[in-house]
Amino acid sequence: MNKKILTVDDSRTMRDMLKLALSDAGYDVVQAEDGVDGLETLDREGADVVITDINMPRMDGFGFIEGVRANPAYRGLPVLVLTTESSPEKKARAKEAGATGWIVKPFDPVKLVDVVRRVSG
Amino acid sequence: MTDQHTNPEIAQQELMAFMAGGQEFCIDIMAIREIRGWTAATPLPKTPGYMMGVINLRGTILPILDLSARLGLGACEPSGRNVIMVVQIGSRAVGLLVDAVSEIIMVKAGDIQPAPSVAMDEMKALIIGIIPVGDRLLSLLDVNLVLPELEAEVA
Amino acid sequence: MSADDPFEAIKQTFFLECEELLTDLEASVTALTFGDGDGETINAAFRAIHSIKGGAGAFGLEDLVRFAHVFETFMDELRSGRKACDDTAIRAMLHASDVLADHVSFARGLIPSMDEERSATVANDLRALMNGAGPAPLPAAAPEPSAPAGTTDEIEAAFGFKPVMFNLDALPEDAAMVPEGWTISFKPHVRLYETGNEPALLLRELARLGPCTVTLHAEALAPFADLHETAAGLSWTIELDAPVEKTAIQEIFEFVEDECDLVIAPKGGALDTPDVGDVDIAALLAAATAPASDPVVPAAADVDIQALLAAAQAPLVPPIQSAGEAPTTAPQTPTKAPAATAAAAPATSAGTQASIRVDLDRIDKLINVVGELVIQQAMLAQSVAECGLTASSTVKVGLEDLEQLSREIQDSVMAIRAQPVKSVFQRMPRLVREVAEMTGKQVRLVTEGEATEVDKTVVDRLAEPITHMIRNAIDHGLEDSEGRAAAGKPKEGTIRLAALHRSGRIVIEVSDDGRGINRERVRKIAIDRGLIAADANLTNEETDNLIFLPGFSTADTVSDISGRGVGMDVVRRSIQQLGGRISIASTPGKGSVFTMSLPLTLAVLDGMVVRAGGQTLLSPLPSIIESFTPREGDLHRIGARDWVIRFRDRFLPLIDTAKVLGFSPPDRGEINGKDGIAIVVENEGGSQVALWVDDIQGQRQVVIKSLETNYRKVEGISAATILGDGRVALILDIDALVVLGRQQANHADFKIAS
């Protein structure tokens, strides 16, 4: 059975890009449009890895990750942050929220899959 | 498709022979989409005399032209015996009113002779060759030329 | 463009999304302009720019990324409060939004060239504002005087390039000396587990680099009962037997460098002192006190990676798969789960994305087929009627239901194409800004009714006339600041753009609070240009509407701005081609209102079926004022050929429809008052003429069929349709008919006292 990846991004383009890259690598992909949607989708569908954007309406990526980590069931769930900023503060902030790691946009599909594999086994 | 009849590399060509204004003509069969019986057309104002008007062809508006009139052979008085050849001209479909269609003939490029200069301008402009078949002589028409109003767009 | 190429398809999605994002951005900036914005408004603007940048980066649209990055950085300054969102900042945002939109259009191939100079200027303005912003200018905000094409640094910053570690660290010293192997000391903190990282996976990654000997140190492990809480008690020493770059190892630990004690040292040597930037003080201390050459753990055992993986994974981290069904959905039985998921999925799609994208061609095809259905139904009804069935027969009743259903389907299908006018309205703030800047006037744009829906074909064609009306209103309608001050008005002029539905049509109003129409001047121009007689007696309304007459606006009355050489007659003509009308109402000193009304769709038309010269024709209902049978003495002949007809208290030119279209048999006599009906229609500038027809057969909604699909435009005819009997009927082009009539009658509308 394929691993399931939840992507949370308000940009349709990004969601499509992620889906294309991940599906090609044999992952199942479920999508959400913002943090709130992301938490609901995660509860409903489950996921083996989560990839989330930071800047989103309603609930941003940091809020989303904190929400994920607040649920003991998702304690060890790898959550990767998509960020265009490679600044240390952004990463630190993501880490503080509970992110497992990050993917810098624009991402190379091979690298993306590599990172996903690295955190999910 | 438009240049098939002049292309020597094409060994054989199918042509549709038909009567219009009492004379025999033929056109490339590839240009014909369908042949249907005559139905009365709704006249269009401010158009050349050979434009019979438009009919409803399964929901699209199909212009009908009187090929006999177009060739300078006199206006046709259409009746139930006349037929409309629906031909493709560029992106457009156009109905040609003719007396009757007779047969499909196969010709080789060598069978087509250059059109001799004839007196009538209308005819000369449309005929791109002549084909003797037994005792008969068929004039080969280029359908792309029948609607000069559209030529600019077809070209 | 190939639909088969998923990447290309996503790119098209990206551009569509850009459109929406730019619209959002425009809305945010507009809100800020009016002081309606708050932190979330700035945030929304930031997100829009950020998303555009993100996508653009994926498609390698470097210029777009570069500009978006500067803009985004600027918005970030505003968002964080480091820079105040004052008038200067808002003005900069306005310009930057426009340039960003241009960059997108250019990348999309919608505009042939990009104004690089303007882009660079605006970007530099943003940077300059940021530099004056205060203590924390971002690196990208660093002054780059005259950097129109962007430096390498800037490109990197713009792309959010994470410099690949190999490159950064592959300095000669390291590169020259790759050791035989590495000794890695790794002690995870609790936080490492809390962030979903997994030592086993990290070890597995290390094993990918080369043969590893892993030593597990369990000395700090807490009692078994507390195991999962204190997993951080574990630490490892890994001997990596491979001559790899240190960066390759660092990369594996990239995500966890702050959440573990990590020391990476060349094998055999002393443990390297890590860079200060790599680990925190605690890690440094740990490294100093835990010399790897002296394994302190007696219980240390060599384990192979596989065993370790199995061991580490089981107790420490619950399998992720269980997460989905954990506490919240625990009671579910396995068989029920798929059903629940299936049921839930559509619910979300309805909640989060209540729309689908459909190719317009498909909808058009559907509309066409439904049009045929309606016609077919009408034909059937006619045949049935001819059979002489009683009104209560089941066939008739069934047919009536069918008609009802056909109409409903038609309405529903038309509704699919309905779109709010918002997309057009939101292009206007930019236009207003540009024209305001060109004219040096202060203008505020107010929009209303953006949600008003209209057929997509109409939406697409609204932009041009609205643009003209707004240009005209700012250029001619509004006074300059001094003029306004003198008139006791606020310095800032207001343009109001509104959309509303009125009796089955969409009405667009463009009003200004300017000076109004100078009727004396309009009248003089009209007389000078021979458009009206010097002694013509016109109402105020008629005078105002003279501006729509062909030949009224000429080069010296149309400025570059309002017309770009296009007069109001052209505007009116383009509106009329859509089956619309335009008029103006003006109050001197108070302003003007342009009102344009359009049909909600271009696919169907309400028409009056008439007969003329033996032909069945359709006259578009919106053009018709009234139809009547003239009484004795209503018709008068003027000159050799021309007729006029009395309508209310005026005499209108009478156009013989059959004759103008060449349908009248040659032997037909002249018009007489007994054998026909006059249809009064409104023509150019709201003036009226009467069409003479044989009789009227009723009103009907018809599907418009183009003559140009298979033929060409025909003078006097706008299109065709298919009537209930399956025959083609032509739709009259009233304006062209009037022109044809004029050519025959050869004199203009006039008025005589009755």
Judge: A46–C324 Cβ closer than 8 Å, yes or no.
yes
In degrees and rounded to multiples of 5, residue C289 shows phi and psi of -95, -5
Total number of domains in chain C: 5
Interface list for C 11-40 with A (CB within 8 A): 13-14, 16-17
Residues 6+ apart with CB under 8 A from C5: none
Judge: C325–A37 Cβ closer than 8 Å, yes or no.
no
* Residue among C9, C54, C194 minimizing CB distance to A69: C194
* Residue among A37, A46, A102 minimizing CB distance to C323: A46
pLDDT higher at A115 or C665: A115
C70, C162, C194, C325: best mutation site toward chain A, by most A Cβ within 10 Å?
C162
Judge: A13–C324 Cβ closer than 8 Å, yes or no.
no
* Pairwise CA distance, residues C579 & C597, whole Å: 9
Q: Specify which residues B34 forms β-bridges with.
A: B86
Three-state helix/strand/coil letters over C452-485? CEEEHHHHHHHHHHHHHHHHHHHHHHCCCHHHHH
Output the six-digit token pair for C597.
């009304």
- The answer to whether residue C344 sits within a structural domain is no
Residue C543 maps to which CATH number?
3.30.565.10
For residue B54, give the chain C residue with the closest CA. Answer: C728
Judge: C352–A37 Cβ closer than 8 Å, yes or no.
yes
Q: What number of C-beta contacts closer than 8 Å exist between A and C?
A: 154
B151 touches chain C (CB under 8 A): no
Residue C658 maps to which CATH number?
2.30.30.40
Same domain, C439 and C400: no
- At A8-61, the pLDDT tens digits run 998 888 888 888 889 888 899 999 999 999 999 998 888 999 999 988 888 888
Judge: C201–A120 Cβ closer than 8 Å, yes or no.
yes
For residue B89, give the chain C residue with the closest CA. Answer: C710
Interface list for C 679-698 with A (CB within 8 A): none
Is B94 within 8 Å of B41 (Cβ atoms)?
Answer: no
Chain B partners within 8 Å of C705 (Cβ): 59-61
- The answer to whether residue C727 sits within a structural domain is yes
Interface list for C 654-693 with B (CB within 8 A): 661-663
Chain C partners within 8 Å of B45 (Cβ): 661-663, 714-717, 730
- The yes/no answer on whether domain B4-145 falls in CATH 2.40.50.180 is yes
C655, C660, C710, C743: best mutation site toward chain B, by most B Cβ within 10 Å?
C710
Model confidence at B68, pLDDT cuts 50, 70, 90, reads very high
Chain C partners within 8 Å of B62 (Cβ): 710
**What does pLDDT average to over chain C?**
74
- The per-residue pLDDT for C219 is 59
- The per-residue pLDDT for C137 is 38
- At B21-67, the pLDDT tens digits run 999 999 999 899 999 988 899 999 988 989 999 999 877 899 999 99
* Pairwise CA distance, residues B25 & C397, whole Å: 53
B92 touches chain C (CB under 8 A): yes
- The answer to whether residue C297 sits within a structural domain is yes
* Residue among C16, C58, C196 minimizing CB distance to A79: C196
* Residue among A13, A55, A105 minimizing CB distance to C46: A55
ipTM of the complex: 0.88
* Pairwise CA distance, residues B147 & B144, whole Å: 7
Judge: A78–C197 Cβ closer than 8 Å, yes or no.
yes
Residue segments in chain C with a per-residue pLDDT below the cut of 70 = 1-4, 132-177, 218-233, 268-355, 503-504, 553-566, 601-603, 665-674, 683-687, 744-754
- The per-residue pLDDT for C414 is 75
Judge: C252–A45 Cβ closer than 8 Å, yes or no.
no
* Min Cα separation C428/chain A (Å): 25
Chain A partners within 8 Å of C156 (Cβ): none
B94 touches chain C (CB under 8 A): yes
Same domain, C459 and C579: yes
Is C678 within 8 Å of C647 (Cβ atoms)?
Answer: yes
Is C683 within 8 Å of C733 (Cβ atoms)?
Answer: no
Residue B130 has pLDDT above 80, yes or no: yes
Chain B partners within 8 Å of C711 (Cβ): 44, 54, 61, 63, 92, 94, 150
Judge: C712–B56 Cβ closer than 8 Å, yes or no.
no
Model confidence at B17, pLDDT cuts 50, 70, 90, reads very high
CATH of A4-116, one of 3.40.50.2300, 3.20.20.70, 3.40.50.970, 3.10.290.10: 3.40.50.2300
- The answer to whether residue C33 sits within a structural domain is yes
**What Rg do the C-alpha atoms of chain C give, in angstroms?**
38
- At C646-672, the pLDDT tens digits run 888 888 888 989 988 988 766 666 666
For residue A73, give the chain C residue with the closest CA. Answer: C323
Distances (CA, A) of C45 to A84, B57, C19, C31: 16, 53, 14, 11
Sheet holding C615-620, edge to edge: C695-703, C604-612, C615-620, C728-732, C717-722
Same domain, C687 and C539: no
Output the six-digit token pair for C659.
């004759």
- The per-residue pLDDT for B7 is 52
* Residue among B46, B56, B150 minimizing CB distance to C715: B46
- The per-residue pLDDT for B61 is 92
B79 touches chain C (CB under 8 A): no
Residue C42 maps to which CATH number?
1.20.120.160
Judge: B42–C705 Cβ closer than 8 Å, yes or no.
no
- The per-residue pLDDT for C310 is 47
Alpha-helical runs (H) found in C177-304: 190-194, 199-209, 246-252, 281-289
Residues B146-154: contacts with CB under 8 Å, at least 24 apart:
B146/B65, B146/B67, B146/B70, B146/B89, B146/B94, B146/B96, B147/B63, B147/B65, B147/B89, B147/B92, B147/B94, B149/B48, B149/C712, B150/B89, B150/B90, B150/B92, B150/C711, B150/C712, B153/B90, B154/B89, B154/B90, B154/B92
Length of chain A: 121
Range of the domain at C79: 6-159
Q: What is the DSSP letter of C705?
A: B
Residue C569: exposure state from Cβ atoms within 10 A (0-12, 13-18, ≥19):
middle
Longest CA span, chain B: 44
